[in-house]
Amino acid sequence: MKHQENTQDEEATFFSVTEPFHGLELEEFLSLKILGYSKFYLRSLLHSGKVSIDDKEIRGGTVSVGTEIQVLFPAKKPETYFPSPLDFEVLYEDSNLIVLEKPSGVPSVAEQFRSATNLMNGLLHYFGVRQSDSPNELPIRPRMIHRLDKDTSGVMVVAKTRLAEKELSIQFRDRSVTKKYYAWVIGDMILDEDVIDKKLVPHPTREKMITTDRARGKPSQTQIKVVRRYRGYTLVEATPLTGRTHQIRVHLSSYGHPLIVDPLYGGKEAIYLSEIKPRYRPKKGKEEPPVVSRLTLHSHSLTIKCPETGEPIHRESSIPKDQVRLEGYLEKHRAVRRPHGG
């Protein structure tokens, strides 16, 4: 077999097509064989002629059992993902998808400064361990359909197959997915229910921020409903009707009720018991620990349709300990007491 010549700045790697992979599209084959790289990067290798069979560049088609495929990688491979243990709770799983609780503080995908701790790495480890005794099965590549902010906890769905990736993407595009969030916000919300309808656009001067813009923004709607009222604070159920970056956070801030903890959009850096409990002060000489020091936002529930049967799949995520603690302090020290019979 002839092999495409590689330069000093490139390394050739060969992948044999075995029976489980027979008939797959080339891009899908590579994405399952080379789990450490983004699909965008693998697609760029295809389009730049770095994939070949018998010295002949290939950019598509299906693969056949017994074929050996050569891929030319840069000498310094920009590996994005690698299996790394992560503790998360599985709420539902079948052959097509997994519904899980993403912990707070864990990004959904690799950040600019790569570290082992992200959900993609955790899923690669989880699926790899589960499949270690099944060498004849196709490997599972986690396929992100949506994301949660790093400091947002709660339920999310990840596709395991190309079919599920396609079908779930359509559901998100067509807004047939129902996502509900709990948001603890600053202030006494006046209306019990409302829809925030404000167009969103990246901030013109502040990187990674989103802002409202009636002229240039993309249509964005969030339905809000008061769950519980406290003096000076409100627990809201937020249902995004569109899926824009930071949508709930920006909408609530523009509505005059930012998340209690969200310094990017008008909230605090952290919330302390001394801000909730009247006349409470920490012991002299001791630093007061925060009740919550990350976004007071939790992805509470998710409803999707099974990609194969169309049957609804509904799962709920329990409120994390720090937000349970916040809720307890608010209920104890800031509860709004209603008159008897009211």
Residue count of the chain, please give it. 342
The yes-or-no answer on residue 149 being catalytic is: yes
Round to whole Å and give the CA distance between 335 and 327. Answer: 10
Return the closest-CA partner of residue 299 out of 186, 159, 161, 148: 148
Return the closest-CA partner of residue 262 out of 270, 274, 254, 272: 270
Round to whole Å and give the CA distance between 9 and 4. Answer: 14
Active-site entry in 149, 192, 194, 197: 149
Burial class of residue 98, CB neighbours in 10 A (0-12, 13-18, 19+): buried
* Inter-residue contact 87 to 142 (CB < 8 Å): no
* Inter-residue contact 66 to 33 (CB < 8 Å): no
Give start and end residues of each alpha helix (H) in 48-181: 119-130, 162-173
* Inter-residue contact 292 to 322 (CB < 8 Å): yes
Name the residues annotated as catalytic: 149
